[in-house]
Amino acid sequence: MLSYRYHRAALPAVRHIYSRQAYGIRYASLEAGENKTGHINAGPNEGVLFFNNIFPLNLQWLFRLPFATQRLLPKQLGGEGNIISAADPHKVISQALPEGAQAPTAQVTEVLPRFKEGGAFVKFTRAPDTTNESVEKVVQDYLSQKRIKPWWNPLGTVKAHLVLGRPWVEDLYRLPSPRLRVEFLPTASGETPAELTQEQLYELFRPYGKLADILAQPSDSKVLPKYALVDFARIRKAVAAKNCMHGYVLPEAQGGGKTGTVLKLSFETKQKTNWIKDWLFSHPRIVIPALAALIAGITVAVFDPIRTLFIKAHITRTLHLEDNRLYRWFQQQANAFLTRVRLRHETGEEAGMEAIWEDRKENIEQIQTWLMETADTFIVVQGPRGTGKKELVVDQALKDRKNTLVIDCKPIQEARGDAATISAAADQVGYRPVFSWMNSISGLIDLAAQGATGLKTGFSETLENQLAKIWNNTATALKQIALEGRKKDDKDANLSDDEYLEAHPERRPVVVIDNFLHKSQEGSIVYDKLAEWASRLTTSNIAHVVFLTNDVSFSKSLSKALPDRVFRQIGLSDTSPEVAKRYVISHLDYDAGDADAGLHDLTPSQRRKDLNELDDVLPLLGGRLTDLEFLARRIKAGETPSKAVKEIIEQSASEILKMFLFGNEDGARQWTPMQAWMLIKQLASSESLRYNEILLADAYKTGGERALQALEQAELISIQSSAGRPYAIKPGKPVYQPAFQRLTEDKVLQSRLDLAVLGESIKEESKSIDKYEQELHLLGELPKQPAELTSRVMYLLQKIQASQTKIEAYEKESGGLKKILMSEY
């Protein structure tokens, strides 16, 4: 009969013993040695074998869980549900050493699995006439014949080796490694251990597996105890050597010195050398640009098709709920429950515009005709703000045309920072996904890499490149939309894509660029890129491009993109008094209720007896649509036309005071209040001023043209041009003419601003006098006064006299203005 001993499991505070009824054998999970001493003791006639490759090493994390140690792991060695272990060491020894056979006799006393290292210790007793080496030889021969292969490692086999030393079993979190640290320690205190050579180490450890390298301790190292590093080709071989040779006392006969040398083994983490990583980090000038190119290539290959798809959905309005038929049907059913007043209120503005569209019917038809023709040039609709350019093109000319893309330049130009500009441009065309915030991060990375390598890496991209990407993706989407209607059985199926688009202008989408050149003085990069992109669309027959602009000098910007083309232009101006009157009356007739049943046969405009005032007040208001709409709303609210126009003029005068004359503490304006007041004062008495005459005034001698352009951009004035040359200045809006008159009628305001203008004039004349006096002083220092200088001296004296006369006149006029300021409120 076999004898067995019970051993306590040594995982922290865990003890588990599994009994198998068939054999009566007990298996103990031993992780901290006997009695948690960290060692396995073998008495006389006892030996220990280490079975390697019993458990997989890649499940070490599972084996360190308490529940696994308590319930799972012991079963995997001796239980019926064996699903992990490759073999049962007890069975192996029983079959290798059968009873009664002519072989060394041995009895297994305990099986101690080492799950962390994928093996197990087997302690056995032997007969006095049997050696441990003979038992090892029999077991090894048996395993060589049977070749037990784990199912999780078909290339490996179970091995067994005799434990020569005193194995140290610990439950520390130290994972096996192919490198062993072999320390040389004395057998007793005060003794000197021997340092083994590479040949001796090779002789000791080669039986356990192929060695990769043996590294001796550096000769100048002062680290104690002395050591050597032994590298095995495989981790399993290192595990077997460590468990069998730890604590082995090397006798003098094997080179251990007179008193012997104790070998202490431990796993050493091997520093893996990664030549690929080292090369990458050693060549940043090559790697970083290549990485940037790789990222850019992946971005183009992955995200560009997605972005093009989103742009197409934005243009064709595929994802717009309001264009869905079912949604529109429900909307119509819901609108049926609204009151007639509500319905008329919703359609009043559209009906009020009918008068405008009738007046501009020729312009609408002209645009529609151009869109049906093959012409590689731009369509430009120019007019002051508030003349209905967008409504004319989008709501009327393109009313029944599908696949229209509207790009509003205003949010793009007003965005602050590159990231905001990129986001605004992407929103206009439906460009998704957009990583505008990455531009700032990549800029920092590029700056750091440039400081380290001295070269630009290309991670960050300029605003121009980012915008170019957005417009290029949009062009791709537009071309795909234009070609969607092609069929293989068409009569022109043999045409190429470019020839097909040229032959079918009606298939091309329409791109409407609104607010072109809005705040162009703050930067033209957005408009330059837009114009270049629009020129490619037009010349490639991909799409029709319509520009909507308030700027009269648009040809300067667009001619850079299409220098050899003549643009198709439509100029919108203020409506005539007759059309303006029809517009106001239409608002009244279509946006009134039927509260007065007795007057049901009369239109709202016929009920009002004060509408005859429109003939007198509309010339003051002008034909600007925004002002006419404001007037119509005031009349609807119950005001008379005269009072409404008076209120509009008062409001416009207040806006002029706030925007152009007062409050420039931050110095953001490009004009002075005196420059604006000079124009206001002169335009109050004259509808038009000569452009060059204004530039001769004292207030406009310095930066005059820049100030005039800024005032035109702010819509205080409108500069008229002929053949590209400015020649006249008019009010920015018709209502500004009476507003200017209203401002000049305020004596206190006029005196205050005139006094400031006179002050500037006095300063300019005083500077002129100083300049003339300095020249006279220089001439007076000459040793002789040649006769040729007499005319020059007289000229300077006359200039001084003229300037002095002007100063005296200005000061006299200033005195009168000061009296007004001191006497009136």
Q: Over 58-98, what HEC string results?
A: HHHHHHCCHHHHHHHCCHHHHCCCCCCCCCCHHHHHHHHCC
Judged on CB neighbours under 10 Å (0-12, 13-18, 19+), 290 is middle
Domain extent, residue 597, equals: 577-652
Q: Is the pLDDT of residue 203 over 60?
A: yes
Give me the mean pLDDT over the 207-226 stretch: 92
647 and 560 part of one domain:
no
566 and 607 part of one domain:
no
67 and 17 part of one domain:
yes
In three-state secondary structure terms, 467 is helix
CA distance 608 to 327: 41
As a three-state string, the secondary structure of 704-771 is HHHHHHHHHHCCCEEEEEECCEEEEEEECCCCHHHHHHHHHCCHHHHHHHHHHHHHHHHHHHHHHHHH
CA distance 49 to 92: 12
264 and 138 part of one domain:
no
Q: Is residue 253 part of a domain?
A: yes
Q: Comparing C-alpha atoms, which of 511, 480, 474 is closest to residue 497?
A: 480
* Confidence at residue 321, expressed as pLDDT on a 0 to 100 scale: 56
Q: Is residue 450 part of a domain?
A: yes
CA distance 428 to 67: 60
Whether 285 contacts 453, CB under 8 Å: yes
* Confidence at residue 99, expressed as pLDDT on a 0 to 100 scale: 54
Q: Is residue 402 part of a domain?
A: yes
Q: Is the pLDDT of residue 169 over 60?
A: yes
Q: Is residue 635 part of a domain?
A: yes
Tokens for 223, please give them.
Answer: 């680290």
| pLDDT confidence band for 68 (50 / 70 / 90) | low
In DSSP terms, 20 is beta-bridged to 25
Half-sphere exposure of 683 (CA within 13 A, CB side): 28
Q: Is the pLDDT of residue 12 over 50?
A: no
* Confidence at residue 128, expressed as pLDDT on a 0 to 100 scale: 86
Of 49-58, 237-246, 586-595, which gets the smallest average pLDDT? Answer: 586-595
96 and 138 part of one domain:
yes
119 and 215 part of one domain:
no
Whether 146 contacts 233, CB under 8 Å: no
User: What percent of the chain clears pLDDT 90, i.e. is strictly above it?
Assistant: 33
In the predicted model, what is the mean pLDDT of the chain? Answer: 81
Looking at 131, 156, 172, which one is the last position of a domain? 172
Q: Is residue 752 part of a domain?
A: no
How many structural domains compose the chain?
5
Looking at 272, 307, 329, which one is the last position of a domain? 272
139 and 155 part of one domain:
yes
Q: Is residue 234 part of a domain?
A: yes
37 and 151 part of one domain:
yes
Q: Is residue 727 part of a domain?
A: no
CA distance 485 to 431: 23
Q: Is residue 677 part of a domain?
A: no
Which CATH number characterizes residue 403's domain?
A: 3.40.50.300
Q: Is the pLDDT of residue 287 over 70?
A: yes
CA distance 153 to 234: 13
163 and 212 part of one domain:
no
- What predicted TM-score, i.e. pTM, was given to this entire model? 0.62
Span 552-608, pLDDT tens digits: 778 888 999 998 888 999 988 888 888 888 888 887 776 554 444 444 556 666 777
The single-letter DSSP state of residue 111 is: E
Looking at 606, 632, 652, which one is the last position of a domain? 652
Alpha helices in 120-234 (DSSP H): 132-146, 198-205
Give me the mean pLDDT over the 4-19 stretch: 29
For the chain, the residue count is 825
Tokens for 808, please give them.
Answer: 């005296």
376 and 250 part of one domain:
no
39 and 92 part of one domain:
yes
Instruction: Rounding to the nearest 10 degrees, give the CA dihedral for residues 183, 188, 194, 199.
Output: -60
Judged on CB neighbours under 10 Å (0-12, 13-18, 19+), 506 is exposed
420 and 383 part of one domain:
yes
Of 55-64, 214-223, 491-500, 780-789, which gets the smallest average pLDDT? Answer: 55-64
Give me the mean pLDDT over the 782-801 stretch: 89
Span 97-106, pLDDT tens digits: 665 445 567 7
> Alpha-carbon Rg of the chain, whole angstroms?
49
